[in-house]
Amino acid sequence: MFDYKLAEVEKKLRGMHGKGFFNKKRVYLFGVSENTRQIIRILRSFPVEPARVLDNDRKKQGTYCCGVEVVPVEAVPGMGDEKNLYIVCSLYWREMAAQLLDKGVKKENILSLYREESLWECLCQAVRGKRVYDRLTRRYGEVPVFLCPYTGTGDIYLIGTFWKQYTEKNQIEDYVFVVISKACEKAAMLFGIKNIEVLEKKEESCCLIRYYMLCREKVDLKILNDAWGQVHTNTSEWFRGYKGLHFTEVFRRFVFDLPETSQPRHPLIGEMDAKEEETFKSLGLEAGNTVVLSPYSNTLADLPGEFWEELAGRLRGKGLKVCTNSSGEAEPAVKGTAAVFFPLNQAPRWVEKAGYFVGIRSGFCDMVSGAKARKVILYGKNDRFFNASSYEYFNLKGMGLCGDAEEMEFESGDRELCDKVAGALLASRRDGSQDRRGRDKLWQEKAFI
């Protein structure tokens, strides 16, 4: 969902929690989606832990969504129990609600969080968008406005890898680069992108797009996305994954119109400063002997907490230090590991300092793809992204971001996955870290410089 809608949902849920609405309730969410993942994070901040995620897709059943098991609707015991609460946030909420009602669930036990906008709301948003655009032009002058309307740091990172080539090709010297979060600002800063403007209110991005759609001839604006859902006339998203049109290729063609010879270019990582070094040591981490775990994803399937706990224990048993990239209660550290949180523009050098990285495929993996470290990236085998599997669409090697990572697909219940991941990490210790770093550097120089 758009970020301003997410803010509305969070406000509503927080108000309901304050009134005790979730007390003694078993909470189920219907449908595996980005919306569901966001709602789970909000609930956990209260804290409320969902019982299960329901989904009719057999390929998703038995997988995990933010660590919560995905099951068929029929698997819920006593569906009509008054203690059960079903949360729906989907364009198909009517069909979902009808299915639940047909199973004996009462209407008052279904909480629909999906809201459609009226024409009047859209027009009001366009008026607000004009004010935002006028504010930007007053500050920066009549220059092109480039808008990144998402919180996805992986998209920002990919944009950065092409930014210099794009601006040079189009002879763009002055511009304003608009993002909607501090995290996205940090990602853009890695590439020396100038005039980064963070919108104070997330809904301003939506309003800016509304104005652009209504008065396109008055706006010098480009949305840096291959197919933003709010622009309903843009249908290129349906080409995603079709005949090799994967993440990098889609951005190269539909966003930047660059030739195939243009390749992503990583930023220079540099060394940790004194403050970062001090924090690294204070957490008990060791340079070249630490594994950074990244178990969370906003878009793709993930793994249960038990897997990460077993993996962390296995790695500690081999003498490695283990930490988790954690953002607090919504994304807590894996049990038995140190919680680390660092600005995204520091992420590559933290991982390079640590020496090892294991993560569910997410935007964070893009951010650290250029770090010289042993990396293992995990993809749900049944995950689909439009016309391709998640691995086909997002694998780092195919994107041209990384040639040294071990990328593997997993299925729910794969008892050997922990062995495979630990083996892939520990193999580098047998090979010798100096040789590995030398190979990584050679590959990166050949591919990106």
Same domain, 106 and 124: no
Same domain, 108 and 124: no
Q: What is the mean pLDDT of residues 350-374?
A: 96
Q: What are the tens digits of pLDDT across the range 365-391? A: 999 999 999 999 999 998 889 999 999
Strand-pairing partners, residue 410, are 380
Residue 76 is given by DSSP the state S
Task: Give the pLDDT band of residue 229 (cuts 50, 70, 90).
Answer: confident
Same domain, 427 and 281: yes
In a domain, 29, yes or no: yes
In a domain, 357, yes or no: yes
Same domain, 282 and 426: yes
Q: What are the tens digits of pLDDT across the range 236-245? A: 888 999 998 9
DSSP 253-275: IIIS---TT----PPP-----HH
Q: Rounded to two decimals, what is the model's pTM?
A: 0.86
| The residue to which tokens 């927080």 are assigned | 14
In a domain, 260, yes or no: no
Higher pLDDT among residues 66 and 444, named by residue? 66
The pLDDT of residue 435 is: 43
In a domain, 262, yes or no: no
User: What is the three-class DSSP state of 276?
Assistant: helix
Same domain, 130 and 108: no
Residue 390 and residue 410: Cα distance in Å, rounded? 11
Number of domains composing the chain: 3
Same domain, 421 and 286: yes
Task: Give the pLDDT band of residue 430 (cuts 50, 70, 90).
Answer: low
Q: What are the tens digits of pLDDT across the range 394-425? A: 999 999 999 999 999 998 778 899 999 999 99
Residue 192 and residue 63: Cα distance in Å, rounded? 39
Q: What are the tens digits of pLDDT across the range 169-212? A: 999 999 999 999 999 999 999 999 999 999 988 789 999 999 99
Domain C-terminal end among 78, 112, 146: 112
CA dihedral sign, ordered 173, 178, 181, 184: negative
Residue 368 and residue 405: Cα distance in Å, rounded? 11
In a domain, 162, yes or no: yes
Same domain, 279 and 360: yes
- What is the three-state SS of 180-192? CCHHHHHHHHCCC
CB 32 within 8 A of CB 70: yes
Q: Which range marks the domain in which residue 108 is found?
A: 3-112
The pLDDT of residue 441 is: 44
The pLDDT of residue 444 is: 42
Q: What is the mean pLDDT of residues 136-147?
A: 97
Same domain, 44 and 152: no
CATH code assigned at 39: 3.40.50.720
CB 208 within 8 A of CB 215: no
Continuous H helices in 66-192: 93-102, 119-140, 153-169, 182-189
In a domain, 264, yes or no: no
Distance of CA 71 to the CA centre of its chain: 23
The pLDDT of residue 446 is: 37
What average pLDDT does the structure give for the chain?
Answer: 91
Q: What is the mean pLDDT of residues 70-90?
A: 96
CATH code assigned at 426: 3.40.50.2000
In a domain, 263, yes or no: no
Omega before 50 within 30 of 0, i.e. cis:
no
Q: Which two three-digit tokens encode residue 239?
A: 């080409």
Task: Give the pLDDT band of residue 80 (cuts 50, 70, 90).
Answer: very high
The pLDDT of residue 438 is: 43
Domain C-terminal end among 255, 290, 322: 255
Q: Which two three-digit tokens encode residue 154?
A: 């992986």
The pLDDT of residue 300 is: 85
Residue 147 and residue 279: Cα distance in Å, rounded? 34
CA dihedral sign, ordered 55, 57, 62, 65: negative
Tally the C-alpha atoms within 13 A of residue 352's C-alpha that lie toward its C-beta.
Answer: 20
Closest CA relative to residue 156, chosen from 246, 253, 269, 264:
264
Same domain, 413 and 350: yes
User: What is the three-class DSSP state of 101?
Assistant: helix
Same domain, 192 and 296: no
Q: What are the tens digits of pLDDT across the range 296-337? A: 998 888 899 999 999 999 999 999 999 999 987 778 999 999
Same domain, 92 and 157: no
Domain C-terminal end among 83, 112, 141: 112
User: What is the three-class DSSP state of 298?
Assistant: coil
In a domain, 211, yes or no: yes
Look at residue 443 and tell me whether its pLDDT is greater than 80. Answer: no
Same domain, 295 and 380: yes
